[in-house]
């Protein structure tokens, strides 16, 4: 049985269709998560924390598991000259969540700007972290955008088989 956390309760309360998946509790990359769930890595969206050089609220960038975040494209999308990918430890400090459990759904009240890679528009549903390691949520892209206020932008490039995320 899937544990009920605040994300699951919110989705239930808003009557948003979703499916929750329980995975091993260790930090898994998007490619490994896709393999365990039997889905294409392009459907597993990793959440990366990105910081602005001039302080301000961090950005949550969601990119497909078979791609890498392009910092230059993200900077352009948010109107910055550049943005910085912090260390895993810094990402955890900024969000209060463990790497592997960082999710825009767990950070709704924190005021993070959410940028969702444009590729998500090609799918009816995608997978995101459920706010803790070992919990994955599949939900409609439209619901994710509505809940998080996410904005679409082309922010990724196809990766070459390496998963370096701190999702």
The 10s digit of each residue's pLDDT in 22-39 is 999 888 889 999 999 999
Q: Please indicate, yes or no, if residue 11 is contained in any of the structural domains.
A: yes
Q: For 101-125, what is each residue's pLDDT tens digit?
A: 999 999 999 999 999 999 999 999 9
pLDDT at 160: 65
Average per-residue pLDDT for the chain = 92
d(CA 128, CA 148): 12
Give CA 75 to chain center in angstroms.
17
Q: Please indicate, yes or no, if residue 33 is contained in any of the structural domains.
A: yes
pLDDT > 80? residue 162: no
Q: Please indicate, yes or no, if residue 164 is contained in any of the structural domains.
A: no
Which of 54, 50, 40 has its CA nearest to residue 73? 50
d(CA 152, CA 72): 15
Q: Please indicate, yes or no, if residue 165 is contained in any of the structural domains.
A: no
Q: Please indicate, yes or no, if residue 166 is contained in any of the structural domains.
A: no
> Phi and psi dihedrals of 110, rounded to 5?
-95, -5
d(CA 129, CA 19): 12
Mean pLDDT within 32-61: 94
- Number of folded domains in the chain? 1
Residue with tokens 């459920």: 130
* DSSP secondary structure, the chain, as one string: -----HHHHHHHHTT---EEEE--SS---HHHHHHHHTS-GGGBEEEEEEB-TT-S--EEEEEETTEEE-HHHHHHHTT-S--B---HHHHHHHHSS-TT---GGGGGGGT-EEEEEGGGGG-SEEEEE-SSTTEEEEEEHHHHHHHHT-EEE--EEE-SS------
Here the CATH number for the domain that contains residue 93 is: 3.90.960.10
Q: Please indicate, yes or no, if residue 26 is contained in any of the structural domains.
A: yes
Q: For 120-161, what is each residue's pLDDT tens digit?
A: 999 999 999 999 999 999 999 999 999 999 999 999 998 765
Which of 134, 71, 66 has its CA nearest to residue 97? 134
Q: Please indicate, yes or no, if residue 41 is contained in any of the structural domains.
A: yes
Q: Please indicate, yes or no, if residue 45 is contained in any of the structural domains.
A: yes
Domain that holds residue 86: 6-158
> Phi and psi dihedrals of 61, rounded to 5?
-105, 125
Asked if 133 and 100 touch (Cβ cutoff 8 Å), the reply is: yes
């Amino acid at each position: 049985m899937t544990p009920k956390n605040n994300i699951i309760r919110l989705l239930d309360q808003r009557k948003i269709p979703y499916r929750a998946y329980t995975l091993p509790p260790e930090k898994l990359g998007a490619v490994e998560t896709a393999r365990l769930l039997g889905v294409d890595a392009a459907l597993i969206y990793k959440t990366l924390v990105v910081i602005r050089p001039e302080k301000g609220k961090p950005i949550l960038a969601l990119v497909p598991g078979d791609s890498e975040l392009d910092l230059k494209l993200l900077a352009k999308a948010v109107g910055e000259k550049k943005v910085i990918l912090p260390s895993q430890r810094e990402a955890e400090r900024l969000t209060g969540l463990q790497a592997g459990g960082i999710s825009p759904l767990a950070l709704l009240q924190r005021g993070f700007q959410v940028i969702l890679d444009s590729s998500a528009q090609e799918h009816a549903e995608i997978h995101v972290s459920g706010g803790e390691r070992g919990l994955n949520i599949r939900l409609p892209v439209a619901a994710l955008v509505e809940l998080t206020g996410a904005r679409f932008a082309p922010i990724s490039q196809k990766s070459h088989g390496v998963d370096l995320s701190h999702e």
